[in-house]
């Protein structure tokens, strides 16, 4: 039975397949075949040997069970793979892994995994961003209460919230594209990176292998590709994860009983909210997104620790990466899929938004009155202090701001009663929010179209 929730609870089938052990061994074998082809091309091993090694690999004759068995004997994963291929290659098996070190194979196979995994995350990010844009445009005429410090601030279109989220997702995609170019790199450089084992053909061999595999070459490496780029990738995934938490946390807060402006999708016929409270409809999906972000941020610490290795390499990074890399991608995959489902099916409660605006009262229009007084030559600082005092009086005396304003001679000298009544209408104090949101939706959509091909 599985022990770790990653094995059965989080992450899609597609992402899981990328990091399954059988996939890893297939990719390692693919690197060995590409190496043999390159070495034959430069005359380092017989052409027939490369053809036989490639045939063994391409016909999928290497069984994971045999690799496991050989690893129990050798206590060395890469050597177990090499021996498994050599067994199937017959006399040509002596040419498998010629001149290479383990991490020539491991790091290059990892680059192939990262390339696939990043591509899937990129697809998920694009899909989530499109969902945000679609819902955001639909909600631009829906007026809600903006809050700062958890307290009523100013009115805003609900769609403006989603425009902020869309902009963040665009930046996430830009970050992902940027880091991919630095982290998805393979290497064939020998035991400490000098290529001494390739008889002067090392750079040519490395170039041929990477061309065969569709990878960029590491500019320089020791026994491994330096781990700073991998730390950048994991920390960037943690950053994306935290932005997903930002969205999920907002949804959770807006679903609170005393706010109740949104609600996660709830399968009324069968879904259970609580084992003891039958009425509960909890934001469990958003809570999951928030919880997983905590794990992701922890993984970034492990990635930074892995940068520091001794001399040309030690083994302290290996065990960390076996856990950290698949975990990071499965977690971010789960967060993205979950949040997209929530966004696409989020229930927006217009009546609750109206009710909360009304409950906040006309105090949320204090800024507008203050600025209007300042604009009419009262002076900004004097106007601020006057409206602050009047606002405090309204709160303490349990009156509306309008009532207090209409009793204040200093205000009435500058603004008529009719104008005051008009100025405290929340629907007329949205600024340029709709235009800004539309510009964000349009520019983000253009960006998505440009990278989707």
Task: With respect to residue 374, please indicate whether it lies within any of the assigned structural domains.
Answer: yes
Return the residue matching tokens 């990043």. 118
pTM: 0.94
Task: With respect to residue 330, please indicate whether it lies within any of the assigned structural domains.
Answer: no
The separation between CA 118 and the C-alpha centre of its own chain, rounded to angstroms, equals 10
* Residue 277 burial (CB count, 10 A): 9
Task: With respect to residue 144, please indicate whether it lies within any of the assigned structural domains.
Answer: no
- 242-260 residue pLDDT tens: 999 999 999 999 999 999 9
How much is the mean pLDDT over the chain?
94
> How far apart, in whole angstroms, are the C-alpha atoms of residue 242 and residue 239?
5
- For position 453, what pLDDT does the model report? 66
Q: Partners of 263 in the beta sheet?
A: 347
Query: What is the DSSP secondary structure assignment for residue 279, as one 8-state letter?
Result: T
Task: With respect to residue 125, please indicate whether it lies within any of the assigned structural domains.
Answer: no
The CA-based dihedral angle spanning residues 246, 233, 445, 134, taken in that order and rounded to the nearest 10 degrees: -40
Q: Partners of 145 in the beta sheet?
A: 155
> How far apart, in whole angstroms, are the C-alpha atoms of residue 430 and residue 433?
6
Task: With respect to residue 384, please indicate whether it lies within any of the assigned structural domains.
Answer: yes
Task: With respect to residue 386, please indicate whether it lies within any of the assigned structural domains.
Answer: yes
Task: With respect to residue 359, please indicate whether it lies within any of the assigned structural domains.
Answer: yes
The pairing of beta strand 143-148 with beta strand 151-157: antiparallel
Q: Could you confirm whether 178 is annotated as catalytic?
A: no
How many domains would you assign to the chain? 1
> CA separation (Å) from 106 to 94, 156, 179, 210, 223?
20, 52, 20, 14, 11
Contact 97, 105 (CB under 8 A): yes
Closest-CA residue to 45 (of 193, 56, 53, 78): 53
**Ordered per-residue pLDDT tens for the chain, 453 residues:** 888 888 888 999 999 999 999 999 999 999 999 999 999 999 999 999 999 999 999 998 889 999 999 999 999 999 999 999 999 999 999 999 999 999 999 999 999 999 999 999 999 999 999 999 999 999 999 999 999 999 999 999 999 999 999 999 999 999 999 999 999 999 999 999 999 999 999 999 999 999 999 999 999 999 999 999 999 999 999 999 999 999 999 999 999 999 999 999 888 678 777 667 777 788 899 999 999 999 999 999 999 999 999 999 999 899 999 999 999 999 999 999 999 999 999 999 999 999 999 999 999 999 999 999 999 999 999 999 999 999 999 999 999 999 999 999 999 999 999 999 999 999 999 999 999 999 999 999 999 999 986
Q: Which residues contact residue 146 at a Cβ distance below 8 angstroms, ignoring those fewer than 6 apart?
A: 153, 154, 155, 156
> How far apart, in whole angstroms, are the C-alpha atoms of residue 283 and residue 257?
11
Q: Partners of 283 in the beta sheet?
A: none
Structure tokens at 307: 């940068």
Contact 55, 90 (CB under 8 A): no
Q: How much is the CA Rg of the chain, to the nearest whole Å?
A: 30
The CA-based dihedral angle spanning residues 77, 82, 88, 90, taken in that order and rounded to the nearest 10 degrees: -150
Domain of residue 409 covers: 355-415
> How far apart, in whole angstroms, are the C-alpha atoms of residue 108 and residue 111?
5
For 265-395, strand residue ranges (E) read 347-348
Q: Which residues contact residue 312 at a Cβ distance below 8 angstroms, ignoring those fewer than 6 apart?
A: 192, 193, 222, 223
Which is catalytic among the residues 149, 275, 319, 450? 149
Structure tokens at 100: 């290479």
* Residue 394 burial (CB count, 10 A): 20
Return the residue matching tokens 């790091």. 107
- For position 268, what pLDDT does the model report? 65
> How far apart, in whole angstroms, are the C-alpha atoms of residue 331 and residue 10?
6
Return the residue matching tokens 């856990």. 323
Q: Could you confirm whether 12 is annotated as catalytic?
A: no
Closest-CA residue to 254 (of 278, 228, 286): 286
Q: What's the first-to-final CA gap in the chain, in angstroms? A: 41
Which is catalytic among the residues 178, 181, 207, 274? 274
Contact 80, 67 (CB under 8 A): yes
- For position 279, what pLDDT does the model report? 79
Return the residue matching tokens 């991998």. 230
Q: HSE (CB half, 13 Å, CA atoms) of 421? A: 3
> How far apart, in whole angstroms, are the C-alpha atoms of residue 343 and residue 359?
27
Return the residue matching tokens 């919230």. 161
Task: With respect to residue 335, please indicate whether it lies within any of the assigned structural domains.
Answer: no
Closest-CA residue to 254 (of 139, 103, 422): 139
* Residue 422 burial (CB count, 10 A): 11
Contact 52, 92 (CB under 8 A): yes
Q: Which residues contact residue 242 at a Cβ distance below 8 angstroms, ignoring those fewer than 6 apart?
A: 293, 296, 297
Q: How many residues does the chain have?
A: 453
**φ, ψ (nearest 5 deg) of residue 105:** -80, -50
Task: Give the ranges where 75-157 is alpha helix by DSSP (H).
Answer: 77-89, 102-138
């Amino acid at each position: 039975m599985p022990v770790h929730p990653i094995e059965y609870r989080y992450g899609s089938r597609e992402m899981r397949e990328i990091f399954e052990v059988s996939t890893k061994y297939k990719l390692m074998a693919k690197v060995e075949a590409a190496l043999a082809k390159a070495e034959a091309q430069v005359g380092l091993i017989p052409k027939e040997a490369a053809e036989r090694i490639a045939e063994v690999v391409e016909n999928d004759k290497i069984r994971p069970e045999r690799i496991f068995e050989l690893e129990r004997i050798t206590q060395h994963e890469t050597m177990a793979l090499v021996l498994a291929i050599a067994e199937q290659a017959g006399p040509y098996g002596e040419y498998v892994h010629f001149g290479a070190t383990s991490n020539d194979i491991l790091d290059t196979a990892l680059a192939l995994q990262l390339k696939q995994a990043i591509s899937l995350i990129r697809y998920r990010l694009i899909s989530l961003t499109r969902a945000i844009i679609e819902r955001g445009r639909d909600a631009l005429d829906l007026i809600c209460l903006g809050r700062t410090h958890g307290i009523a601030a100013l009115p805003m279109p609900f769609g403006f919230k989603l425009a902020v989220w869309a902009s963040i997702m665009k930046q996430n995609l830009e970050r992902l594209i940027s880091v991919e170019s630095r982290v998805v790199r393979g290497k064939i450089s020998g035991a400490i990176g000098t290529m001494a084992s390739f008889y002067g053909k090392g750079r040519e061999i490395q170039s041929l292998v990477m061309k065969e595999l569709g990878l960029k070459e590491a500019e320089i490496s020791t026994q491994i590709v330096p781990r700073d780029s991998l730390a950048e990738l994991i920390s960037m995934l943690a950053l994306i994860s935290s932005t997903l938490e930002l969205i999920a946390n907002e949804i959770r807060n807006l679903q609170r009983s005393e706010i109740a402006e949104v609600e996660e999708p709830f399968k009324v016929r069968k879904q259970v909210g609580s084992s003891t409270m039958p009425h509960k409809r909890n934001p469990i999906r958003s809570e999951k997104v928030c919880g997983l972000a905590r794990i992701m941020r922890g993984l970034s610490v492990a990635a930074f620790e892995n940068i520091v290795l001794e001399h040309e390499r030690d083994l302290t990074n290996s065990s960390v990466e076996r856990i950290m890399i698949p975990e990071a991608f499965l977690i971010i995959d789960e967060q993205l899929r979950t949040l997209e489902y929530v966004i696409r099916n989020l229930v927006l409660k217009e009546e609750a938004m109206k009710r909360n605006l009304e409950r906040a009262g006309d105090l949320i229009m204090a800024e507008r009155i203050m600025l209007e007084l300042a604009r009419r030559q009262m002076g900004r600082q004097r106007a601020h202090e006057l409206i602050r005092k009047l606002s405090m009086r309204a709160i303490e005396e349990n009156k509306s701001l309008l009532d207090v304003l209409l009793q204040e001679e200093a205000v009435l000298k500058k603004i008529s009663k009719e104008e005051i009544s008009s100025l405290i209408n929340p629907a007329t104090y949205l600024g340029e929010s709709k235009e800004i949101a539309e510009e964000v939706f349009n520019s983000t959509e253009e960006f998505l179209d440009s990278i989707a091909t």
